[in-house]
């Protein structure tokens, strides 16, 4: 699959990126990032919150000599004190203008391709936050900005008031909530969706999971039933991982998916599962008949 344009930006991304939060060490990060680059991936997403900046350091070291070849995304808004556990939400303008420089230092770069607000509420100083991002753009420290949110009420405000090019949101076969009120809105405004969690914490990988862990309103036995139904319907045409990606890419708002991976075999399966053909309307209808209708209950 060819690279795809992120919103109205000039950022072109391979459809399956790398969610860096799952990295377990500097060595693990280097191995997976270099393997991803060899497979053609070019979108890497981290955040200053992950490991209190340590994840950014790992990513920065691994990409230091390939910086111009990649689209590098990170996030801001969650604050902590070094050496102390926990964090708190505090996305003020002054903080964002300060935090970006710490991220640049850790990432060993002089610009960030996509800087994202890592959450958001209606009580935030939204205009000040937007001013901060616009100032960073004018200074050349970031190229574009977006938000990472599952709250429709917050997403609507940034669509209306800002120049975001993307919204990162959880979306998968087992989490269809964005279909209700988010995807069409973003498509109408030419804002790209970055789909995180496309494999539902591993439940939608080809191997699947064992145990009794729930996922949203699905019990483990219900997920296994869905997996069986999908497998019987799709036969040998696609692996379940391929189907999971094909499903979210069926909506034109979705530009890139960022599954997490902590092992090389997981990463390679993800990157080898780029859909080679789209799902037909009949296939989509059949797939949805196996799934639960879902909607956001809060923050509507």
Question: What DSSP letter does each residue of 281-295 carry, written as one string?
Answer: HHHHHHHHHTS----
In a domain, 235, yes or no: yes
Q: By the 8 A CB rule, do 185 and 153 touch?
A: no
Beta bridge partners of 193: 167, 254
Structure tokens at 55: 């994840």
Give the per-residue pLDDT at 7: 98
The residue segments making up the domain with residue 141 are 4-289
Give the per-residue pLDDT at 229: 93
In a domain, 70, yes or no: yes
Give the per-residue pLDDT at 176: 97
In a domain, 261, yes or no: yes
In a domain, 294, yes or no: no
In a domain, 295, yes or no: no
Average pLDDT for consecutive 10-residue bins of the chain (300 residues)? 92 97 96 96 96 96 95 94 83 97 98 97 96 98 96 96 98 96 96 97 92 94 95 83 96 97 95 93 95 88
Give the per-residue pLDDT at 257: 98
Answer whether 0.85 is exceeded by the pTM. yes
Give the per-residue pLDDT at 164: 98
Give the per-residue pLDDT at 81: 81
Average pLDDT in the chain = 95
18-32 pLDDT, tens digit each? 999 999 999 999 999
Concerning whether 50 is annotated as a catalytic residue, the answer is yes
Give the per-residue pLDDT at 1: 60
CATH no. for residue 90?
Answer: 3.20.20.100
In a domain, 217, yes or no: yes
Q: By the 8 A CB rule, do 176 and 215 touch?
A: no
Count structural domains, the chain. Answer: 1
Give the per-residue pLDDT at 297: 86
In a domain, 44, yes or no: yes
Catalytically annotated residue among 14, 50, 144, 171: 50
Give the per-residue pLDDT at 281: 95
In a domain, 222, yes or no: yes
Pairing relation of β-strands 142-148 and 78-79? unpaired
């Amino acid at each position: 699959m060819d690279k795809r344009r992120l919103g109205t930006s000039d950022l072109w991304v391979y459809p399956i990126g790398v969610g860096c939060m799952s990295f377990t060490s500097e060595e693990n990060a280097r191995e997976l990032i270099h393997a991803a680059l060899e497979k053609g991936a070019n979108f890497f997403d981290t955040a200053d919150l992950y490991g209190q900046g340590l994840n950014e350091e790992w990513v920065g070291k691994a990409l230091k000599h390939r910086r111009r070849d990649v689209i590098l995304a990170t996030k801001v808004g969650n604050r902590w004190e070094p050496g102390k556990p926990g964090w708190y939400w505090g996305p003020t303008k002054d903080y964002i203008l300060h935090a970006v420089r710490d991220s640049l230092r850790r990432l060993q770069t002089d610009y960030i391709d996509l800087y994202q607000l890592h959450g958001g509420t209606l009580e935030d100083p939204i205009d000040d936050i937007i001013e901060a991002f616009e100032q960073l753009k004018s200074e050349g420290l970031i190229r574009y900005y977006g938000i990472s949110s599952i709250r429709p009420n917050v997403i609507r405000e940034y669509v209306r008031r800002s120049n975001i090019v993307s919204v990162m949101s959880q979306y998968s076969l087992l989490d269809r909530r964005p279909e209700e009120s988010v995807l069409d809105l973003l498509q109408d405004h030419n804002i790209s969706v970055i789909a995180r969690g496309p494999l539902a914490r591993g439940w939608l990988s080809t191997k699947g999971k064992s145990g009794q862990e729930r996922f949203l309103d699905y019990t483990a036995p219900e997920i296994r039933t869905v997996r069986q139904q999908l497998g019987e319907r799709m036969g040998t045409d696609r692996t379940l991982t391929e189907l999971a990606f094909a499903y979210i890419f069926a909506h034109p708002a979705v530009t890139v998916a960022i599954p997490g991976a902590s092992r090389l075999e997981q990463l390679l399966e993800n990157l080898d599962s780029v859909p080679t053909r789209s799902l037909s309307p009949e296939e989509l209808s059949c797939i949805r008949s196996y799934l639960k209708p879902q909607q956001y209950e809060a923050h509507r």
